[in-house]
Amino acid sequence: YLVAVGNQGMVFSSSDGNIWTERGSVEIGTTTLNSVVYGAQGFAAVGFSGKVFLSANGINWTAQESGVTSHLNKIVYGHGKYAVTGDSGTHLISSDGVNWVNTDVGSLPYDSIAVTQDGFISVGQYGWLTQSTDGANSWQEINLGAHYFKQVIAVGESIFAYDNYDIYVNGDYTPPLPTAKPTQLSMKDRKTGIKTLDVAFGNNQFVTVGCAEDYCREGDQGGVMVSANGTQWRMITVPFI
Task: List, for residues 144-172, the tens digit of each pLDDT value.
Answer: 887 888 889 999 888 988 887 677 888 87
| Residue 212: pLDDT over 60 | no
Confidence of residue 230 (pLDDT cuts 50, 70, 90): confident
Given a cut of 70, is residue 178 above it in pLDDT? no
Supply the pLDDT for residue 231. Answer: 73
Query: What's the burial of 103, exposed, middle or buried (CB within 10 Å: 0-12/13-18/19+)?
Result: middle
Question: Residue range 76-97: average pLDDT?
Answer: 96
What is the pairing mode between strands 140-143 and 62-64? unpaired
- Tell me what pLDDT residue 179 has: 43
Query: Does position 46 have pLDDT exceeding 90, yes or no?
Result: yes
- What confidence tens digit (pLDDT) does each residue in 98-122 have? 999 999 888 899 999 999 999 999 9
Whether residue 229 has pLDDT greater than 90: no
Own/partner pairs for 59-64, CB < 8 Å, 24+ apart? 59/13, 59/23, 60/25, 61/11, 61/25, 61/27, 61/28, 62/27, 63/27, 63/28, 64/97, 64/98, 64/100
pTM of the predicted protein model: 0.81
Give yes or no for residue 187 having a pLDDT over 60: no
Across the range 200-206, mean pLDDT stands at 81
